[in-house]
Chains A and B, each alone.
Chain A
Amino acid sequence: QQPVQSPQAVILREGEDAVINCSSSKALYSVHWYRQKHGEAPVFLMILLKGGEQKGHEKISASFNEKKQQSSLYLTASQLSYSGTYFCGTLSVGSSGYSTLTFGKGTMLLVSP
């Protein structure tokens, strides 16, 4: 079952902050965050593995609340280069016993000058 992302879209001016949320109805063991620019492949940002863990990538950080089954991505002092669609992905174990990544619908972020 795919995770749910919110909001669907965000429009920011350069320098403003934004938060993107990802939640799941199933227990989460890890959350993956990716960014996809228009016409390009999704690019890995970070993985969060433990409850309460926080990580950072440039001025982008994320938190993972295992109990609430949700993760949030924080974009601080946004730059034009942050524009793109952000996906969260969660692992689910298939019938084979191997884990596969299931992605949310994505959050489109547009940073304007």
Chain B
Amino acid sequence: ETGVTQTPRHLVMGMTNKKSLKCEQHLGHNAMYWYKQSAKKPLELMFVYNFKEQTENNSVPSRFSPECPNSSHLFLHLHTLQPEDSALYLCASSSFPGTTNTEAFFGQGTRLTVV
């Protein structure tokens, strides 16, 4: 257990569905991240939130909509996804954004399949 919990662990959705991924951490961290991990691709940074404010959007399509209501929770709202969006979506958190010596703690990920 890393202290970062993601739900659900697996999700199958149709292209017209709307679903949300949830990430929760009680480590007292101020920065939270969404990464996408596809087969044969590196961990791709999607969004970064620092102190509940979105500070990075790595050119992610608008069909992915993040939300960070507080420092402990992060959501990724999904709508009208494409089959190529099928991937493992990882949430991570770290304590001090902007410093060089901060490790990131990852959740177990949500395995998303778009049919």
Q: Which residues of A contact B (CB under 8 A)?
A: 2, 29-30, 32, 34, 40-44, 47, 49, 87, 89, 91, 93-106
Contact = CB atoms under 8 A, between A and B. Distances in A.
Interface centre among B43, B50, B56, by most chain A C-beta atoms within 10 angstroms, is B43
Contact of B45 (A32, A43, A44, A102): A102
A98 B98 contact: yes
Contacts of B107: 41
B42 A99 contact: no
Interface in B28-50: 31, 33, 35, 41-43, 45, 48, 50
B108 A41 contact: yes
A100 B2 contact: no
A101 B104 contact: yes
Contacts of A98: 31, 48, 50, 55-56, 97-98
Contacts, number: 71
Contact of A105 (B42, B100, B101, B103): B42
Interface centre among A29, A30, A41, by most chain B C-beta atoms within 10 angstroms, is A41
B60 to A, nearest CB: 13
A44 B104 CA distance: 7
A39 B80 CA distance: 26
Contact of B101 (A34, A49, A87, A101): A49
B45 A41 contact: no
Contact of B50 (A2, A30, A41, A96): A96
Given A2-B42, A94-B48, A105-B42, A99 B99 contact: yes
Contacts of A49: 100-101
A64 B42 CA distance: 21
Given A41-B2, A94-B56, 9 more contacts: A34-B104, A41-B106, A41-B107, A42-B43, A99-B100, A100-B48, A101-B33, A103-B43, A106-B43
Contacts of B55: 94, 96, 98
B109 interface: yes
B41 to A, nearest CB: 7
